[in-house]
Amino acid sequence: MTLVLAMVLGKGVVVAADTRVSGYGVYGEERKVYPVTYEDNGREYGLAVVSGAGVSALVKGAYELIRNKYTNLMEHVKSKEGAARNPNKREVEAIVRETEVELMSRYSKLRELGMTDFPDILLATVTCEGEPLLYLFEAGLANPMHEAPGYVILGHGELTGARLLLTLLGYKAREKQYWDHSILPVFIIDVVSAVDPTVSPFSDPHSSIYIRYSEESKTVVAGPLTPEAFKTAKNSVQNRIKAFQLIWELMEKEGEEKILKTLKKRLEKLEE
């Protein structure tokens, strides 16, 4: 079982996952977020992030397929233009179409052998123009998710609270660009893990990768949480859980209207 989250935040996409794997009552730990990179003249290009839920071997196979597609594209761009660069939207869409065809072909052959359970695969990337893109491959078919709903949730954790939490928080990709990318996925994973034994608390900084467009350098950058950011995120999660509990307690004692009025005034003052 697993819980994988991918969310468009600002000019980027954050992908995070728990690390628990289970089967026949046995639990283990495994990293489920796979970065796609390319090195050229000492520079590492962050190209995409891949993750998935389902048969682990098929998820890893899809990652290898997508990584090879990106590598071939970067080699082609380098030979044609003289230098590597991140793909543009047209090139990303071509990779998605090619991946879709090859995944469906693989799964078709596996169906002939009697297999019926195929993984869901997500692909998160940012174009060289700075546009965040998010795709979900369901049984091989690609579904763009970056516009609506702006997120993907995979695994058993979706059923035990992840989607409910995003709805409760009022998450909307294009309206919540200022939200901290390091806190939200860790919050959801940790809260779900408290009620779902198949989901582990967030414990691996490299299991959360944020790929984004940097306005400062005018390039796409990608990387996991730093140890400092990881520690800060875990502390923030506990503080926000406590804040929820305190607000509920205050509303019980003073009434919803009074507390809502106070909170709205405070928010309006910050937005002035």
pLDDT tens figures, 140-183: 999 999 988 999 999 987 777 898 898 899 888 877 778 888 99
Taking only the tens place, the pLDDT of each residue in 51-95 is 999 999 999 999 999 999 999 999 999 999 999 999 999 999 999
Q: Tell me which H or E stretch contains 168.
A: helix 162-169
**Cβ–Cβ under 8 Å, residues 162 and 129:** no
> Is the CB of residue 36 less than 8 Å from the CB of residue 27?
no
Helix (H, G, I), strand (E, B) or coil at 232: helix
Cα–Cα distance measured from residue 50 to residue 37, given in angstroms and rounded to the nearest whole number: 11
Q: Is residue 124 very low, low, confident or very high in pLDDT (cuts 50, 70, 90)?
A: very high
Q: Which residues of 5-22 are buried (b: 16+ CB within 10 A; e: fewer)?
A: bbbbbbbbbbbbbbbbbe
pLDDT at position 198 is 86
- Where do the DSSP E strands lie in 145-234? 151-154, 208-214, 219-224
Segment among 23-37, 45-59, 120-134, 228-242 with least mean pLDDT: 23-37
On the question of a cis peptide bond just before residue 149, with omega within 30 degrees of 0, the verdict is: yes
Ranking 19-28, 107-116, 133-142, 186-195 by mean pLDDT, the lowest is: 19-28
Q: Is the pLDDT of residue 129 over 70?
A: yes
What are phi and psi for residue 235, nearest 5 degrees?
A: -65, -40
Averaged over 215-231, what is the pLDDT?
94
Kindly tell me if the per-residue pLDDT of 217 is higher than 60: yes
Helix 184-193 and helix 162-169, axial crossing angle in degrees, nearest 10: 130
Name the pLDDT band for 27 (thresholds 50, 70, 90): low
**In the predicted structure, residue 49 carries a pLDDT above the cut 70:** yes
For 64-104, give the DSSP string. Answer: HHHHHHHHHHHHHHHHHHSS-----HHHHHHHHHHHHHHHH
Percent of the chain that is helix, strand, coil (3-state, to 5): 45, 25, 30
Q: Which amino acid is at 82?
A: G
Among 177, 106, 171, CA closest to 137: 106
The pLDDT of residue 21 is 77
CA gap 11, 134 in Å, rounded: 12
The mean predicted confidence, pLDDT, of the chain is 93
pLDDT at 177: 77
CA distances to 53, 246, 260 from 264, in Å: 39, 16, 6
Angstrom distance (rounded) from CA 220 to CA 127: 8
- Is residue 272 predicted with pLDDT exceeding 80? no
Q: Say how far apart CA 188 and CA 101 lie, in whole Å.
A: 33
State pTM to two decimals. 0.92
